[in-house]
C-alpha cells in the first residue's frame, strides 16, 4: 500500500509539472498587487488594505435598484431590461438601506474593475453576510476577461429579520483567475452601471 501511495504522489507531481503555472490558477494577493502596480489590473478606487491572500474585498456603493410590485408574470428573455422592473435609489451620505426578510435588491460595488484579456475572475459574497442569511451575489459569479466595470450585486435577505445594508462596507470579494489564452467580453453588460 505504501508503494502505491508513493507512486500516486510521484504521478501527481509529474502531472502537475505539465500544467503551466500561470494558466487556470487563482492569483495570490502579492501577485494581484504586483499586477496593479504594473497597470495590468485596474481597481478604482483602490484600497491596499482590501487585498487578502487570494482575493480583493469590494465595497458596497450607495446605489440600489428596488424591484417594483408587478402583478402578473414577467417574461425573462435575452432583451429583458432589469431597469424597467426596478426603481433606482441613491442613498444620501450616512443613510443605510433596510432589507426585509425575503426581499431582493440590486446593489453595485464602489470599485470599478478593469481586466486584460488574459485574466478573468469570480465574484463571491463574504462569509460574515452569508452566516447571517444574506446572499450578496446570488448567481452569475463569473467575471469575464477584458471587463471594465463596477460589479452589480444580486442581494437577497434569506434571514428571518430585517438587515441594514451599509454603503462603504466590504461586502464581497473578487478572485482573479489567470486564463489559458485570451478573451474579451463585449456583451450587453460591458461597462455596466446600475
Single out the residue of 14, 27, 193 nearest to residue 110, CA to CA: 193
DSSP structure string for 8-77: HHHHHHHHHHHS-TTTTEEPPHHHHHHHHHTTSSEEES--GGGB-SS-EEEEEEEEEEEEP---S-----
Distance separating alpha carbons of residues 122 and 189, to the nearest angstrom: 16
CA atoms of 54 and 28, how far apart (whole Å): 5
Please tell me which residue in 44, 49, 154, 169 is annotated as part of the active site. Answer: 154
Look up 111 and say whether it is catalytic: no
d(CA 129, CA 7): 44
Catalytic (active-site) positions? 154
Amino acid at each position: 500500500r505504501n508503494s502505491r501511495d508513493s507512486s500516486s504522489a510521484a504521478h501527481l507531481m509529474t502531472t502537475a509539472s505539465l500544467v503551466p503555472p500561470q494558466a487556470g490558477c487563482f492569483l495570490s494577493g502579492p501577485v494581484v498587487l504586483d499586477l496593479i502596480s504594473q497597470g495590468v489590473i485596474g481597481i478604482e478606487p483602490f484600497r491596499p488594505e482590501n487585498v487578502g491572500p487570494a482575493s480583493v474585498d469590494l465595497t458596497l456603493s450607495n446605489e440600489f435598484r428596488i424591484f417594483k410590485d408587478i402583478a402578473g408574470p414577467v417574461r425573462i428573455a435575452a432583451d429583458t431590461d432589469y431597469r424597467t422592473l426596478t426603481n433606482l435609489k441613491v442613498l444620501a451620505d450616512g443613510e443605510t438601506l433596510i432589507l426585509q426578510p425575503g426581499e431582493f435588491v440590486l446593489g453595485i460595488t464602489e470599485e470599478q474593475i478593469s481586466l486584460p484579456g488574459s485574466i478573468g475572475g469570480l465574484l463571491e459574497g463574504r462569509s460574515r453576510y452569508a452566516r447571517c442569511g444574506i446572499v450578496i451575489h446570488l448567481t452569475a459569479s463569473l467575471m469575464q476577461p477584458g471587463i471594465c466595470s463596477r460589479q452589480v450585486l444580486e442581494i437577497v435577505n434569506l434571514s428571518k429579520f430585517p438587515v441594514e445594508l451599509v454603503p462603504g462596507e466590504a461586502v464581497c470579494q473578487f478572485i482573479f483567475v489567470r486564463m489559458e489564452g485570451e478573451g474579451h467580453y463585449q456583451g450587453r453588460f460591458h461597462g455596466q452601471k446600475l
